[in-house]
Amino acid sequence: MEYTVPLDFAISPLATTLKSALHSKIDQKTKPLGALGQLETLALQIGLCQNSLTPHLTKPSILIFAGDHGVVAAGVSAYPQSVTAQMVANFLTGGAAISVFAKQHAINLLVVDAGVNADLAAHPQLINAKIAKGTQNFLTQAAMNSADCLQAIQTGADLVTQQHATGCNCIGFGEMGIGNTSSAALLMHTLTGLPLVQCVGRGTGLDDKQLAHKVTVLQQALKQNIGWAEVRSPSIANDGLPASAHPIALNALATFGGFEIAMMVGAYLQAAEHGMVIMVDGFIASSALLVASCLYPQVLDYCVFSHVSDEQGHQALLKHFNATALLNLNLRLGEGSGIALAYPLLQSAVLFLNEMASFAEAGVDSE
């Protein structure tokens, strides 16, 4: 089966023409060399993303993609599937952690119904982009067919383009979906080759017995999908993808992913095409980035990793990306919460680059 929506993103590597000048500008600030640590690395990256010696952050936004998962029927979560829709309502009424943090830092927050198994009431912050009422149970069949998978990717891309058109140049993606740590673990295992047990975590707070059951279910899913790239998942052609594209990334996404994860894949790729600064949240958000980076590795150049999740697979994913996160607060909430908490550090990086005096301006001896 050929997909109907071609994947054709044009992501440029970061321009390096200003790299030396940015380094010099950072080094000439009134401080010892390297004294601002990761903030200096961050300022350099943001300057390169925007190809500017005076970068700025405008209209920061977080999109929370929400979707349900058929595999929840196998008992992989401590919470029932109904919690997905209930938490979406909580986001929209301002009662969730991300709602509080986004308001605190003046970050525009939107919630996307990618595939919630409920009919959600209209709300100014809710975007209805539902592909279906949840994915299929990947214990018995692919989570989604190729057309739905590709539609989700394109929808995520289109939503980012809409935000970019408003003047947003810094964006992050959160998620909500009971059962989605199971999808993330299988994507991670499939695309990194790391042992499954290193990819599976406690998710919504499983105890040891429940965690063991989750591992057993995911092992069963892998056995059920032996040869999945050719058989279980509908074939997805790779036309339009770069030569570096991972040959199985899209099939892995269709087989084990969720609609919210697929939308995040497209969102990451489109944000990078627009040259936006991309803030990455925790485990599920990083699993979507893993798929995106298998397709277009240069997407990682635009990514700032907000925090180290307490979900064990995330630490291994960060190592896979060769990434250093800004915060380590033992978070495992999702929702984009780590993004909102880390955003002030991006503001500080830009402010010191633009407003902190140089040695010459301050009349301070540099030697």
Active site residues: 335
Q: Residue written as tokens 């029932």?
A: 80
Structural tokens at position 289:
């980035």
Task: Using DSSP, state whether 67 is helix, strand or coil.
Answer: strand
How far, in Å, CA of 132 to CA of 342, rounded? 33
Structural tokens at position 11:
């992501």
The residues near 217 (Cβ < 8 Å, ≥ 6 apart) are 71, 74, 75, 76, 139, 182
How far, in Å, CA of 225 to CA of 202, rounded? 23
Q: Is 335 left (phi over 0), alpha (psi -120 to 50) or beta?
A: left
How far, in Å, CA of 333 to CA of 174, rounded? 10
Structural tokens at position 103:
């308001």
Task: Using DSSP, state whether 268 is helix, strand or coil.
Answer: helix
Return the H-helix or E-strand segment holding 281. Answer: none
Q: Tell me the C-alpha to C-alpha distance, in Å, between residue 301 and each of 27, 166, 263, 275.
A: 22, 23, 20, 10
The residues near 365 (Cβ < 8 Å, ≥ 6 apart) are 359
Closest listed residue to residue 183, CA positions, set 272, 286, 108: 286
Question: What are the E-state strand segments in the chain?
Answer: 61-67, 108-115, 126-128, 170-176, 277-280, 303-305
The residues near 334 (Cβ < 8 Å, ≥ 6 apart) are 174, 175, 176, 281, 282, 283, 284, 285
